[in-house]
Structure 1
């Protein structure tokens, strides 16, 4: 993951496809082996950093400043969101190694981790700290204020800042549904003329005032107080960087459309655009993940090595023992953090794997380019030992490439056991 970050240039920005994977892996390491309080109350790594002593020889430490900035951020509502915000701050300020070192040298907090399960308490896991030093020498140019969705996801929306000239009315029809959505733009208004916002977008803050978890009418009250003043509005787009629906918004947009059937996502209609020319957002875009109809060819236990080299032997092994008449059509649902495979007819779930569990993935050139496979480590299965290779066939070569790219976007390393 670190090598992938380095390979994309000297500076890491929000658009880097490997940034979310890096942050997710750091979070998994910080959570592994973290024990609950009295076996009842769940802990998260944010509580660990919050409990660390925040003074050093020179006074306030970099950790204390970051923790305090995280604590007062009104856009964060959960321990998960605060922990993720803190990690992004540490990456931006090149202080991640100091944070982990501070944690490792605070016994009363380190004891929260299981000595048998935790990576942080494993003395043999020295290379991890050297990788943190590599990250601290890289430039991370991150929009720290784009944090309102960290409670739900590492995947962040397109977030833009707009300055609106002083006007009598901005002209936005707003709706509160967990967040402040834009339902429509009033014809002839400043928002309609400038086209800086579209129905379905979210107003995150106005002149520095966060609208996260705001009450009904609060956005209108803020706008009325600033009437006739220049406005700086932070907008979160309903479209992601790739042009599709931003995934954490899917459920909210679905509920919003149910309550407001006339809602048309996208740019507001202009007088020159007739209704028959408008193309509403296809309903199939509003779903949990991207679902592919593929064939499940079978699986094979491949032993204690899960590198990509085993694919050339494992795939033929699966193809030889499975006759075409026994193949089943399945639904492969590529979600944000994991993939699931469900039988198309019976709706029975065949398997589910988080992306960090996948050690390698690849395509197979014989007999065609539509066959792909990935390896997962499954020690909990009594019938298997070590890694298992899952083999599937896509309907087209292009679809096969898409699936492989989506999996490798989260995991580029190989596991050796």
Structure 2
């Protein structure tokens, strides 16, 4: 008769799903949350009451803290990192941040091995129902965690302000704005979060539609704003007056356009309904071909810029083709941001020097060495183009397998230019059609 446990079965299935991805695991991965939930359930199973928590059951984060110095230097520093973090305010949130940090640093198996070996400590905190106290089940758990070591987790640990309530992760954006006295956003404190309730037109914040109503201002000049005293934003602006503005936001909308559930709850408290507000970058309701012009997504664009074309109507540039990222049915311009990161951080992709041509009818990409046609998309197939403001040499365009209003298989094609100004001109060449 085989020895197993339902939670270990769940963890194994979730682990297999992640393993089959074959690349880096980002916060947007749909299989990440079930995997983390399974880990959390295992660490909670069999926890004993009291130990200083007279009215509530101690959570697993308390166990990790008490283990402290026994964990070794690496784990000790991870524990300190979480304790010093101002964004996770509950034991649940801190425990989740610690698990995410262990996945990134590949320290989870080491932690469980040390816990398992300290019999007296484990028996003090867990009862006999715990997987950690069972010799066979804990060995199976460790074997699964050994496989976890082979998975490259690339999780954004700054994105921690909602871990108190959910494992689901929102989009997190870091922005740099020009020096200014007023950013142009109206903020409202809701349950320790600074929620954007309005954005002034023509303000720095309104540039390219980066910041939207419902977004949560999470950091300013790298300082956390969660639970900050009123006036901290003003004080930081005054302290760093004359310097570029570095600010981070938790986005109200997910990549699929849905509203992030924890933020939706905050918005109800201030009577803001985003369901009636248009989604930036969403195709028009009449199903006509949507293409956001390049100057709408580039921070420094001038709307009257005209790309340089040759006498045959072509604009031709030599760049490096970095590869593509599949987007399924989502051809919105918002996906360019994460697609570029996914492509350029995949070391297994092959780089090719190519010529990219924007003709009167579409975009052609040919290998420079033998002139072989690699990509050919008509403008009716191109749904968007743009680049990240923090990686100006990289740019991309999104195209489907047929016209945009009928396409079901969009891909973002990513390129690298030698000059940021050249990338800008190429995007303007695509965006003007």
Aligned: 1:72 with 2:84: yes
Aligned with residue 21 of structure 1, among 30, 34, 57: 34
CA contact under 8 A between 2:48 and 2:125: conserved in structure 1? yes
Give the TM-score taking structure 1 as reference length.
0.60
Q: What's 1:245 paired with? A: 259
Shift of 1:7: 1.1
Distance 1:210 1:265, change over 3 A: farther
Q: Are the aligned partners of 2:257 and 2:279 in contact in 1 as well (CA < 8 Å)? A: no
**Is contact 1:181-1:202 (8 Å) kept?**
yes
Residues 32 and 118 in structure 1, CA contact (< 8 A), matched pair in contact too: yes
CA distance in 1, matches of 2:277, 2:46: 43
Q: CA deviation at 1:61?
A: 1.7
Distance 1:150 1:215 in 2: 21
Please say if residues 214 and 251 of structure 2, whose CA atoms lie closer than 8 Å, have aligned partners that are also in contact: yes
SS of structure 2 residue aligned to 1:191: coil
The separation in 2 between residues aligned to 1:74 and 1:154, in whole angstroms, is 17
Deviation at 1:238?
Answer: 0.7
Alignment of 1:204 onto 2:193: no
Q: C-alpha distance in 1, partners of 2:223/2:115?
A: 33
Is the contact between residue 52 and residue 102 of structure 1 (CA under 8 Å) also seen in structure 2? no
- Deviation of 1:220 after TM superposition, in Å, equals 2.8
Aligned residue runs from structure 1 range 203-222, under 5 A: 203-222=217-236
Match of 1:298 in 2: none
Distance 1:250 1:35 in 2: 35
Residue 121 of structure 2 is matched in structure 1 by 109
Secondary structure of the residue aligned to 1:219 is helix
Change beyond 3 A, Cα 1:88–1:229: same
The reply on whether 1:48 has 2:63 as its aligned counterpart is yes
Note if contact 2:215-2:252 (Cα within 8 Å) is conserved in structure 1.
yes
User: Structure 1: any 5+ residue segments left out of the alignment?
Assistant: 274-417
The size of the alignment, in residue pairs, is: 265
1:365-386 Cα deviation digits (max 9, x unpaired): xxxxxxxxxxxxxxxxxxxxxx
TM-score, scaled relative to structure 2 = 0.57
Moved more, 220-229 or 26-35: 220-229
Residue matched to 2:150: 137
What residue in structure 2 maps to residue 10 of structure 1?
A: 23
Distance 2:100 2:212 in 1: 29
Aligned to 2:101: 89
Give the structure 1 partner of residue 365 of structure 2. none
CA-based RMSD: 2.4
| Alignment-derived partner of residue 195 in structure 1 | 209
Give matches, 1:245-264, under 5 Å.
Answer: 245-257=259-271
Q: Distance in 2 between matches of 1:122 and 1:108?
A: 14
Q: Within 5 Å, give how 1:327-342 maps onto structure 2.
A: none
Query: Do the aligned residues in 1 keep the contact of 2:88 with 2:94 (CA within 8 Å)?
Result: yes
SS at match of 1:238: coil
Q: Please, which runs of 5 or more residues in structure 2 have no aligned partner?
A: 1-13, 285-433
Q: Secondary structure at the match of 1:120?
A: helix
SS in 2 for 1:111: helix
